Structure 1
Amino acid sequence: MPGTVAVLRTSPVRVSGQLDESRAYFHRLFWTFPPCIEAFRHCKLLVSIDGTHLYGKYGGTLLVAIAQDGNSNILHVAFALVEGENAESWSFFLSHLHEHVTPQPGLLVISDRHNGIKAALEAPNGGWLPPFAYWAFCIRHVAANFALIFKGKDARRLLVNAAYAKTEVEFHYWFDILRSEDPAMCDWANRIEYSLWTQHCDEGRRFGHITMNISECVNSILKGVRNLPVCSLVKATYGRLAELFVRKGREAEAQMETGQQFS
């Protein structure tokens, strides 16, 4: 497809200590398709990023960036095959995501608290620092870390309720209850900047996305392809997305023909 972006990185092959320039090992691959790049211009200024392990002979990790439009349609906008989740692989993915798909200023990235993501987003020249881009945590992952230290479903529920609160008053209502249960719980939560995990301090950037639930569609849309070789996996993402665009295009045309208007 004309306009497809594919960035391949290889590693050198050495035989008995000597460089074999006729061969190379596969190392990393980033790819995205023109309709994904175009579609993101009409989506919320937000991406959810996540990694999922590959099965089969070759292993590795599939990194994905997922967006959502105003009608809650979910779309994969970029992919990468890497050796695993680390600072270098996330930097490779995010740098090309920013360059080819999401150059818009003010973008919000939602993810877990993986150190590799943190290092890539906080790199001085990466293009992901405010005001060009912002970072927010998935509350499900924050709550899971919280529950490792503080046991009991009620404590976890209170933290999640505070995160979902849309106003400062509502947030302090739940936070005060949490403090009455155990002040140490609040001390733990206060070590994380509020803008990273609460909705009332997000300045509207989350669009109500408190978790990475839109990333969960990875397992359903890409079901059955995570044990394929590289070429077959890339072709599968093309086929699934082509089918999705055709179906959604027909739905939109049918809506327009009935007189519906879109902003």
Structure 2
Amino acid sequence: MRKVIAIDGTFLRSKYEGVLLSAVAQDAENHIFSVAFCVVDKECDVSYEYFFQNIRSFVDDIDELCIISNRHPSIQKMVSTIYLASHYGCCMRHLRENIRNNFHNSKVVTHFYKATKAYDKCEFNDHFNQIRDLVPKAAKTLERIGFHTWSRAFCPGNRYNIMTSNIAESVNFMFDVKREFPIVALFDEINRRFALLFHQRRMELVNSANRFVPSIEKDISKYVNAGNKLLAHQIANYKFSVTGHGDVATVDLQRRTCTCRIFDLDKIPCPHAMAALRAQYGADFGNQIYEYSSPYYSVEKNT
């Protein structure tokens, strides 16, 4: 799985009450993968400290890891003390709703959404400057929260395309009725449901003729077609200037980077990189696409 974990809590409705904490991730096909569950009295520092300490025993604290939440202060605090090497990010959707409710300006919300999802800092700055011009207080609020926590362009880690904690909230919805169960019955149902889902997902991929999962194969096909319309000019060993549609980008195949930053962050060759790969490898271009993509996307890794 890509090293991005979403954390969330939801109230239980049984006579014992309490809160179900969940940590979930996504596989390469964007399926939900459960990492950990825990029942606590309430969401607070002590509860999340216990939760993260137990997760720490099997999820390593590494620079590649990014932990996302709805900005609950205890989650952010525990990430900063228990996962020192990892990165914290806040949910784009949750922050967007705060901006909408506090500043009541649909244009600010639109520019916030585009700034959040921008790959490069120039595009981010274009939209953020619009926010600053429209509602200066909204811009100050977002600056105070920190660009690195909610912007893809400034995130020091790699969130891939996972910009919200929706996957954790989706798990809460999956077990909405079961939240009335006693704790042991609830955990048994969680185990049963995910065991069934994992089996179904594996069966869908185990006989696949493709090297990568279907959603990534679609992206690759789309990027190849777009790359066919671009012109790549070699400027150094494994380095290309790619032009087309009034756009100029620089691709470094050795570093697996492109100035558009899609190659850097999504870990599959962008259209510019596709053009560069075709120029570099010629007839072997098709095989090289997979060599320059993240192994997380392979069918083998997901079965």
Moved more, 202-211 or 78-87: 202-211
Deviating 4+ runs (over 3 angstroms): none
Letter in 2 for 1:95: Q
State the match for 1:261 in structure 2.
211
Gap change, CA 1:49 and 1:85, over 3 Å in 2:
same
State the match for 2:133 in structure 1.
180
Moved more, 145-154 or 171-180: 145-154
Residue 205 (structure 2) pairs with residue 248 (structure 1): no
Q: Once the 2 structures are TM-superposed, how far is the Cα of residue 235 of structure 1 from its aligned partner?
A: 0.8
State the match for 2:69 in structure 1.
111
Letter in 2 for 1:221: M
Does the CA-based 8 Å contact 1:88-1:120 persist in structure 2? no
Q: Once the 2 structures are TM-superposed, how far is the Cα of residue 204 of structure 1 from its aligned partner?
A: 5.6
After TM superposition, the score normalised by the length of structure 2 is 0.66
SS at match of 1:122: helix
Query: Which one scores higher on RCO, CA 8 angstroms, separation ≥ 6?
Result: 2
SS at match of 1:225: helix
Residue 78 (structure 2) pairs with residue 120 (structure 1): yes
Whole-Å separation in 1 of the counterparts to 2:201 and 2:135 = 50
Instruction: After TM superposition, list the pairs within 5 Å mapping 1:150-161 onto structure 2.
Output: 150-161=103-114
Whole-Å separation in 1 of the counterparts to 2:147 and 2:133 = 20
Q: Once the 2 structures are TM-superposed, how far is the Cα of residue 119 of structure 1 from its aligned partner?
A: 2.2
Does the CA-based 8 Å contact 2:112-2:127 persist in structure 1? yes
Does the CA-based 8 Å contact 1:50-1:65 persist in structure 2? yes
Residue 175 (structure 2) pairs with residue 222 (structure 1): yes
State the match for 2:151 in structure 1.
198
Whole-Å separation in 2 of the counterparts to 1:74 and 1:155 = 31
Whole-Å separation in 1 of the counterparts to 2:79 and 2:30 = 26
Q: Once the 2 structures are TM-superposed, how far is the Cα of residue 245 of structure 1 from its aligned partner?
A: 2.1
After TM superposition, the score normalised by the length of structure 1 is 0.75
State the match for 2:86 in structure 1.
133
Q: Once the 2 structures are TM-superposed, how far is the Cα of residue 71 of structure 1 from its aligned partner?
A: 1.9
Instruction: After TM superposition, list the pairs within 5 Å mapping 1:1-263 onto structure 2.
Output: 43-100=1-58, 102-103=59-60, 105-106=62-63, 107-123=65-81, 126=82, 128-129=83-84, 132-203=85-156, 205-255=158-208, 259-262=209-212, 263=298
Does the CA-based 8 Å contact 2:76-2:88 persist in structure 1? no
Does the CA-based 8 Å contact 1:165-1:198 persist in structure 2? yes
Gap change, CA 1:118 and 1:204, over 3 Å in 2:
closer
Does the CA-based 8 Å contact 2:8-2:169 persist in structure 1? no
Whole-Å separation in 2 of the counterparts to 1:219 and 1:81 = 13
Percent identity among equivalent residues?
Answer: 29
Q: Once the 2 structures are TM-superposed, how far is the Cα of residue 247 of structure 1 from its aligned partner?
A: 1.4
SS at match of 1:99: coil
Gap change, CA 1:105 and 1:176, over 3 Å in 2:
same
Q: Once the 2 structures are TM-superposed, how far is the Cα of residue 143 of structure 1 from its aligned partner?
A: 2.1
Q: Once the 2 structures are TM-superposed, how far is the Cα of residue 221 of structure 1 from its aligned partner?
A: 2.8
Moved more, 228-237 or 137-146: 137-146
Letter in 2 for 1:118: Q
Does the CA-based 8 Å contact 2:12-2:179 persist in structure 1? yes
Moved more, 217-226 or 82-91: 217-226
Q: Once the 2 structures are TM-superposed, how far is the Cα of residue 212 of structure 1 from its aligned partner?
A: 1.3
The structure whose residues are more often strand, as a share, is: 1
Letter in 1 for 2:206: E
Q: Once the 2 structures are TM-superposed, how far is the Cα of residue 152 of structure 1 from its aligned partner?
A: 2.3
- Structure 1 unpaired stretches of 5+: 1-42
CA RMSD of aligned residues (A): 1.7
Whole-Å separation in 1 of the counterparts to 2:31 and 2:135 = 41
State the match for 1:9 in structure 2.
none
Does the CA-based 8 Å contact 2:14-2:180 persist in structure 1? yes
Does the CA-based 8 Å contact 1:221-1:240 persist in structure 2? no
